Amino acid sequence: MEQRVLPYLLLLPATLFLCVFFIYPFLLVAWQAFSEGGSFTLEHFQTMAGHWKFSTAFWNTMLLALAVVPVQIALALLMATLVTRMGSGRDLILYIWTIPLGISDLAAGIIWLAIFEQTGFLNSMLAGLGIIEQPITWLSYQNKSTIFLAVVLAEIWRATAIVLVILVAGMGLIPKEYYEAAEVFGAGPWKRFVRITLPMLRPSLQTALILRTILAFEVFAVVMALGGTNLPVLMGETYVWQFDLQDRNVAAAYALVILGISIAFTLVFLRTLRVPREAQP
């Protein structure tokens, strides 16, 4: 009996809290997406989907997530693995690698704009090395792929630390004996990584993937700083409709689209990386 009630008791405080501070305001906003003057309508979704920027914003958001998240996972795995092999100086290196954790997306946008703008640090360096004579306009509307690349770099720089901390924490919990045993059987580093680290890390990987993907769908401040109006994303359009066009209904529809794709991807990750209760071999 305790077994059946206990989990719900443990979830109760968080659930109650979320009901008051998230679900209640969320339902109010969600209702706006579906209503006009108190009655149900899909008109706002039609307005949203019919606007010429919607599909661009949608695909930009998707592509950005696709370009950023896998690189971040791979990079964080590499960093975490390096950390496990480090001797002295581990604390310092880990600290350095987690620095971007403390930097907000707005600040990151300011920093990376200083690098890529026409009189920025990148051009200063290239000019200093004599590679270019005239500053290159990296963030030009004619060259959206460079803007895209700049955003991807900035995002990878800014948000890999989150993944790293989660993975490092997870790796710390893998019993060392497994590696020792594998070594006895002559497994090389790559084999140990694939056969032990990756499977044992599944809960942490799942967490990191879900969180990063969801956050990637809300990418906004860095894109605004580097891309201006050239790279519309869903979150930016939500903002425009809510505050510039002052149409809360369509803004709510946009927000629901972001929520929808986030939930869809979360469910995919929950299924494909399912962590059984007895995850331990």
Residues 61-120 that bind other proteins (CB under 8 A): 78-79, 82, 84-88, 90-91, 93-107, 110-115, 117-120
Q: Give the DSSP letter string of 119-166.
A: TSHHHHHHHHTTS-SSPP-TT-TT-HHHHHHHHHHHHHHHHHHHHHHH
- How far is it, in rounded angstroms, from Cα 266 to Cα 194? 24
Shortest distance (Å) from residue 42 CB to other proteins:
19
- Piece of 38-46, 58-66, 197-205 that binds other proteins (CB under 8 A): 197-205
181 binds other proteins (CB under 8 A): no
CA distance 169 to 90: 14
Interface with other proteins includes 151 (CB under 8 A)?
A: no
Cβ burial of 178 (10 Å; 0-12, 13-18, 19+) is middle
Sites for other proteins among residues 222-261 (CB under 8 A): 224, 226-230, 235-236, 238-239, 242-248, 251-252, 254-255, 258-259
**CB of residue 18 vs other proteins: minimum separation in angstroms?**
6
Asked if 273 interacts with other proteins (CB under 8 A), we say no
Residue type, 98: T
Q: How far is the CB of 47 from other proteins (least distance, A)?
A: 11
* The one among 4, 39, 40, 184 contacting other proteins by CB under 8 A: 4
Contacting other proteins within 16-35 (CB under 8 A) = 17-18, 21-26, 28-29
Backbone angles phi, psi at 277, to 5 degrees: -60, -40
Query: What single letter denotes the amino acid at residue 76?
Result: A
The pair phi, psi for residue 40, each rounded to 5°, is -70, 140
Piece of the chain touching other proteins by CB under 8 A; list 14-22, 37-45, 57-65, 190-198: 14-22
**Sole window of 38-46, 58-66, 136-144, 191-199 interacting with other proteins (rule: CB under 8 A):** 136-144
210 touches other proteins (CB under 8 A): yes
Q: How far apart are CA 105 and CA 220, in angstroms?
A: 8
Residue 134 found at the interface with other proteins (CB under 8 A): yes
Distance CA(271)–CA(7), nearest Å, equals: 21
